[in-house]
Amino acid sequence: MKDRRVVITGLGVVSPIANGKKEYWQALKEGKNGVGPVTCFDATDFSVKIGAEVKDFDPTQWLPNKEAKRADRVIQFAIAASDMAMEDAGLTSESLDPHRFGVYIGSGQGGIETCFESFQTMMTKGPRKVSPFFIPMMIGNMSAAYVAIRHKAKGPNMCVVTACATSIHSIGEAVRTIERGDADVMLCGGTEAALRSICVAGFAAMKALSTRNDDPATASRPFEKDRDGFILGEGAGVMVIETLDRAIERGAHIYGEIVGYGSTCDAGHITAPDPEGDGAIRAMKLAMDQAGWAIDQVDLINAHGTSTPLNDKIESLAIRTLFGDRADTMMVNSTKSMIGHCLGAAGALETIAAIQSVEEGIVHKTLNLFEKDPDCDINVVTETTEAKVDRFLVNSFGFGGHNGVLAVERCRI
């Protein structure tokens, strides 16, 4: 049922630079940097002491204190972003048919803080001291479940887990759900609260994180010659998507239309991308083919752009291979230069950033590109730029070779 066109009508954001759609976009335009010393745990003995933390987040703004204590931080983020998206879309639970309303909100790590703390409790105090809320606070699907309970969404409900590609796959699969007629409205995106000691230790052991502890403001530097790893971030990005007909009928503000979705796997290595960028190329091409776009019609790519040596090189190769000479002029930016890598929430936060470029005709810059890596032979935007954006891609590539790409365009009625 591809004739069921799917549009974006609501945006919700919890991020390291600002909470809320308007505040987030303003911070991106200003080039605000969300990276700083870690304060959520004692990082004294860690090789990595920096991260992109969500600031000024009070869960009791969204939940009663008792309920907030029974919800992991990853769930709290999802609830806050979903509430914002619903409000932005002008929707309430009472205005929707619950059986035609679904939720696809994924998380790469789930309730990792709860898991770690509960394990410590068991080891120090014994198994009888483990909370009865441990399992429902920890398992990954509970963000989608909590949001569904909160908004009485009884339609399709799923937690996608594809590492850093999680929220792009969540959005793409939600689009497919509407297109095939299983729902009319979906809350979709990703949430992550993995900026905790055990995850930092694990990523640091892989040599995946930047160790620029003495200069956190310039540590996240996608496509830069001297990049040395990504910055672990946290947050949530959630969107309301619905059928175009429904959005028009109720007079909703339409941010854009999702017209293509590519999902592929490298099937080659547990962490490293395909050396020729094959999976990334195929995912971008799939999304563009579904959208019916030619190479010269793409105005912007919000890149995966992690600031790791291998990812940025391979993503650049994939863009250059697919787009050829068009890569010399087509705009590419990386939101991760400001908010770090929010793992399962990254793609949704980046889609929300890019859709604002369509709204305002402004493309946010990529921070810290002091000297571009010659292997990253693409047109990276280094200054916030006024530009008409009608069509964009969002790239997300995860450990395990999972690739997800969205194609979004200005909605034409």
Report the pLDDT value the prediction gives residue 35, as an integer from 0 to 100.
Answer: 98
Instruction: Please tell me the distance from the alpha carbon of residue 101 to that of residue 96, in angstroms, as a whole number.
Output: 7
Q: Is 39 exposed, middle or buried (0-12, 13-18, 19+ CB in 10 A)?
A: exposed
User: Would the CATH topology of 6-249 be identical to that of 259-409?
Assistant: yes
Report the pLDDT value the prediction gives residue 254, as an integer from 0 to 100.
Answer: 98
What is the dihedral angle through the alpha carbons of 272, 278, 282, 283, rounded to the nearest 10 degrees? 10
Average of pLDDT values for 248-262? 98
Which entry of 115, 164, 199, 342 is annotated as an active-site residue? 164
Going by pLDDT thresholds of 50, 70 and 90, the confidence category of residue 1 is very low
Residue count (the chain): 413
Q: Which fold has domain 6-249?
A: Peroxisomal Thiolase; Chain A, domain 1 (3.40.47)
DSSP 88: H
Residue 259 reports pLDDT greater than 90:
yes
List the chain domain ranges: 6-249, 259-409
Average of pLDDT values for 293-299? 97
Nearest to 232 by CA among 307, 310, 141, 334: 307
In this structure, the number of other CB atoms found within 10 A of the CB of residue 249 comes to: 9
Q: Judging by DSSP bridges, how do beta strands 185-192 and 101-106 pair with one another?
A: parallel
Q: Is 164 a catalytic residue?
A: yes
pLDDT digits 0-9 by tens, 23-82:
999 999 999 999 999 999 999 999 999 999 999 999 999 999 999 999 999 999 999 999
Instruction: Please tell me the distance from the alpha carbon of residue 283 to that of residue 402, in angstroms, as a whole number.
Output: 10
The alpha-helical segments, DSSP class H, found in 90-111 are none
CATH number of 259-409: 3.40.47.10
Helices (H) and strands (E) in the chain, counts: 13, 14
Average of pLDDT values for 239-265? 98
pTM to 2 decimal places: 0.97
Average of pLDDT values for 121-133? 96
Going by pLDDT thresholds of 50, 70 and 90, the confidence category of residue 3 is confident
Instruction: Please tell me the distance from the alpha carbon of residue 44 to that of residue 38, in angstroms, as a whole number.
Output: 10
pLDDT above 90 covers a percentage of the chain that reads 99
HEC letters along 191-237: EECCCCHHHHHHHHHCCCECCCCCCHHHCCCCCECCCCCECEECEEE
